[in-house]
Chains A and B, each alone.
Chain A
Amino acid sequence: MAETETNPLRRPLPDGIVPEGEVTRTENRWIAIVLGMLGVMMAVIVVTGVTNALHPPSNVEIIDPTTLHLGGEFAESNLGTAAEPDGSVTVRLIAEQYNFVPECVRVPADTPVKFRLSSADVIHGFLLVGTNVNTMVVPGFVAEVRTSFNALGDYRMPCHEFCGVGHQGMWAHVNVVPKGRFPHLSTTERTSCVQQ
């Protein structure tokens, strides 16, 4: 009789078993720490996203990958760097197995640059080391990245999305020149640094 009335927890515990109240307190402490860590990580993502202008590419413009060369924005006569009336430049590239076209693009330093890319076949990647430029180039869509370069020089851009047996040969260059050395382009001129 007396045995059924006593709360089993009230009995003196054997050595090595922690009382439940203690367990709960420890659990709550760790939950708080985990939530704190999550908060810090989210804050880091938000702050770097805003300050370094890192965005998931959210451009949803569609385009037919099989007919890029027949006309429109990615016809071969329209590829390369174009000067905009507002002083910025737009660079248009095609990514295809196993080249970027044009494989060398020239842009002025300290100028807003907009890259617009499309793929003619499979998924490729476009990455400029040391900048915020990093996007996938998905066939059927136009990828758009905005940046500006303050360091002069030659940036090598690898395709960073495995695209087939020739993938390792898929490299191109972005050549950043001082503003004054960038050619003055009329609205219908395009430039690149492919040696002809």
Chain B
Amino acid sequence: MARDKGVLRLTNPWPRFAWLAGAAIVGISLALGFLVLDRYQQNDPPLGLWGAICWGLGITADLGPAREAAPTLRTPSRIAWTSSTLGQIRAGDAQHGSFIALNCTACHGEGGMSQSTFIPTLTGMDPAVIFKQLDDYRSGKRPWGVMGAIAKALSIRDSADVAAYYAARPNGLAAIAHEGSLRGESRSKESDSARHLAFMGDEQRGIPPCTACHGPHGYKIGAPPLAGQHAAYIERQLAAFAQRLRQNDINEQMRTIAMQLTPSEMHALAAFYGAPESSRVANK
């Protein structure tokens, strides 16, 4: 009986057996994992001994990505959400931004509350959104004549400043969302289906809910607030994404979704999110 004879005593064969068995299991596993199983790469000839060991360790220098010719590079935007970009945005100075914003009032309205249904309201918009859209206009990634010219006249610093100014304005998009359509009773069957798309999406067609990125359920950086924006503007942007007239969304986030929406769904969603007429008048 092993336990009577003392586990550590050399005359006792059981500990030795246990150590040997443990070593054998480790050895066999290493041999299987590094030398046998990963030699067989589907669709390719089996790897050599060293190739297999390196592959098992994750060193794939010899296999690497295929370096075939690539199509002409097309990028959606120059902006990436790196820490240096986020730093530039955080450094925005709202005080200086308020002077720059004087150039925008003619179109975007007093304090960013646009009165025209074709010009977006900027009040209360996330600074990262304004910063990115201005850079996309500047680089021509989001083509729109007037905004392109205006953005070119602004420096990177200026865009961060004006973004900080509009983001800090009170009673903006988010505030309208509170009293607006998101909470109200549904008015028709059409707005019921829009509400469903907004809050649930459509699994069958692979459409995620809008609220997962545009709030309030989740926020994806760079996704503008929708509630309270002009309905006509929202609808035009959705159509532009679907027809690839607007291609400045990073990794096709919005194009992939908009392409699946029917024109009547776009219309219903725009009406659902769009600012109610009354709140726009009240803010005049």
Query: B251–A68 contact, CB under 8 A?
Result: yes
Query: A71–B42 contact, CB under 8 A?
Result: no
Contact of B1 among A24, A71, A147 (CB under 8 A): A24
Answer yes or no: B11 CB below 8 A from chain A CBs.
no
**Count the A-B residue pairs with Cβ separation under 8 angstroms: how many?**
153
Complex alpha-carbon distance, A127 and B55, angstroms: 22
Complex alpha-carbon distance, A102 and B82, angstroms: 24
Query: A70–B252 contact, CB under 8 A?
Result: no
Interface string of A36-78 (1 = CB under 8 A from B): 0000000000100110010100111100001111110101111
Complex alpha-carbon distance, A69 and B209, angstroms: 23
Query: B56–A69 contact, CB under 8 A?
Result: no
Query: A58–B82 contact, CB under 8 A?
Result: no
Q: Which of A75-130 contact B (CB under 8 A)?
A: 75-78, 82, 84-85, 88, 90, 94, 96-99, 101-103, 112-114, 116, 120
Interface string of B39-71 (1 = CB under 8 A from A): 011111000000000011011100011101111
* Smallest CB gap from A20: residue in B: B1
| A50 and B37 contact, Cβ closer than 8 Å, known pairs A75-B73, A169-B203 | yes
Q: How far is the CB of B260 from chain A (nearest CB, A)?
A: 8
Interface string of A13-32 (1 = CB under 8 A from B): 00000001000100000000
Complex alpha-carbon distance, A67 and B80, angstroms: 6
Complex alpha-carbon distance, A53 and B250, angstroms: 35
Query: A50–B213 contact, CB under 8 A?
Result: no
Q: How far is the CB of B37 from chain A (nearest CB, A)?
A: 5
Query: A60–B43 contact, CB under 8 A?
Result: no
What residues on B are CB-neighbors of A148 within 8 Å? Answer: 42-43
Answer yes or no: B140 CB below 8 A from chain A CBs.
no
Complex alpha-carbon distance, A168 and B76, angstroms: 26
What residues on B are CB-neighbors of A4 within 8 Å? Answer: none
Query: B212–A171 contact, CB under 8 A?
Result: no
Q: How far is the CB of B261 from chain A (nearest CB, A)?
A: 12
Q: Which of A160-178 contact B (CB under 8 A)?
A: 164-172
Query: B206–A99 contact, CB under 8 A?
Result: yes
Complex alpha-carbon distance, A84 and B208, angstroms: 34
Contact of A99 among B36, B38, B203, B257 (CB under 8 A): B257
Answer yes or no: A194 CB below 8 A from chain B CBs.
yes
Query: A88–B69 contact, CB under 8 A?
Result: no
Chain B: residues with CB nearer than 8 A to chain A?
1, 32, 36-38, 40-44, 55-56, 58-60, 64-66, 68-78, 80-82, 201-203, 206-209, 211-213, 217-218, 220, 244, 250-253, 256-257, 259
Chain A: residues with CB nearer than 8 A to chain B?
20, 24, 46, 49-50, 53, 55, 58-61, 66-71, 73, 75-78, 82, 84-85, 88, 90, 94, 96-99, 101-103, 112-114, 116, 120, 132, 142, 146-148, 164-172, 187-190, 194-196
Contacts A/B (CB < 8 Å), 19 sampled: A20-B1, A66-B81, A71-B75, A77-B74, A84-B66, A88-B43, A96-B251, A97-B220, A98-B213, A99-B253, A165-B209, A165-B217, A165-B218, A166-B212, A170-B206, A171-B203, A188-B70, A188-B72, A194-B259
